[in-house]
Amino acid sequence: MDGVERLSEWLPLAEGWITRLCDQGGMFYLYFMTWGEGGGETVQMLASTLSLVSRSLANTSRRCLTSKQLMYEKYGDPLKVLELKTVEIPEKLEVNEVRVKWLAAPINPADINQVQGVYPIKPPLPAVGGSEGFAEVEAVGAGVVDLQPGDWVVAAHSGLGCWRTRAIYTENDVIKIEKDIPFEAAATFQVNPPTAYRMLKDFVDLRSGDLVVQNAANSAVGRAVIQAGVIIAHARRIRTVNVVRKRPNIDELVAELKSLGADEVFTEEQMLKEIKGKAKGAKLALNCVGGRSALMLASCLTKKGVMVTYGGMSKQPLQQREEMFRELGEMVRTGRFKTPHFQKRELKDWQKALTDAVSSADKKQLFQREEMFRELGEMVRTGRFKTPHFQKRELKDWQKALTDAVSSADKKQLFVY
């Protein structure tokens, strides 16, 4: 007698079934209780079949996707500590989670410093490199309201690790951007343009005709400062004097920066002659180099001018004018000097404030973020903001990309996934 015939005979005898589906350590079990005789083999057959089905369902519910990630487990030389790994990530999302597919991410100097362990922001190890980029939302959790599959997003703060193909974050970890932004601009939308924007916006009330001096003017932030000046000065113009290092192709670089809107471009040697000339009377100085270069910028400031330091590429301490210290000493001796209050401001602190604002529904902070990205996005869409030229690299070629990024500031690298 086959199993079907035995089942047809056995089922009428079963006057009561008690079934219970329970999850024990991820495995499903079906328990049968029956009255009558002759059903033992059939029950065993059903239990075996249902066990296979339940295991298949369990495996499906735990199915994982893969992500290629450029990771490091200790700080040091990026070429020695970084390793490209394939990592499994769960397909199922929690209520407030989003899964994204990273599309592109640049290699910034800060990214290299972070892997080296010399950058102020240190994500917990092991970590994935990369502080900015843009991604497409693949899936969202049941509680996510403002994002949907297909949206473009950028990281809301540092430490998310963008040198990977796929990742899972919370909804507050990412910021939605418009999809009409050019590819390279979207990939570099989180760090350098906002840094330039906030430095021009938050420290001095700049008006049309005000002078801003900066070093490292050919850096991504420096270029953003030149271009963002129009909007920051209330849709009028601020003047910029820009300092760069001497190099063989200096004429080409000067022409390029002036095409972006720079008023003056000088080498450090030329700048010494312009401290009392075209660079005199600056209201704001932006220092990314330190050392002697910072001293030159400070010498250009007006009496109530402000110098903002956001980097130290020379790895030399800040210097100030000798006469400044003489004047300060005289003020201290005569009682005219009161200890000032210093406030440290970094982009990461502003980003944290925005993250806190999201969780606390701080409308003012949220408005500032929306206003910044709206204005920067409009500059990109209208062609008033141009991104640097990048060499596009696959993630598997990361060693060559990092080597070129370190050896030449002119060879800006972009991972494209």
Active site residues: 119
Residue 384: name the closest of 213, 223, 219 by CA: 223
Tokens representing 319? Answer: 């210097």
Instruction: Report residue 330: phi and psi, to 5°.
Output: -65, -40
DSSP code string of 277-294: TTTTTEEEEEESSBHHHH
Torsional sign, CA 368, 370, 376, 379: negative
85 torsion bin: left (phi>0), alpha (psi -120 to 50), beta (else): beta
Residue 416: name the closest of 400, 392, 398 by CA: 392
DSSP code string of 103-146: EEEE--HHHHHHHHT-SS--PPSSEE--S--EEEEEEE-TT--S
Q: How many CB atoms lie within 10 A of CB 394?
A: 12
**Residue that is written with structure tokens 């086959």 in the block:** 2
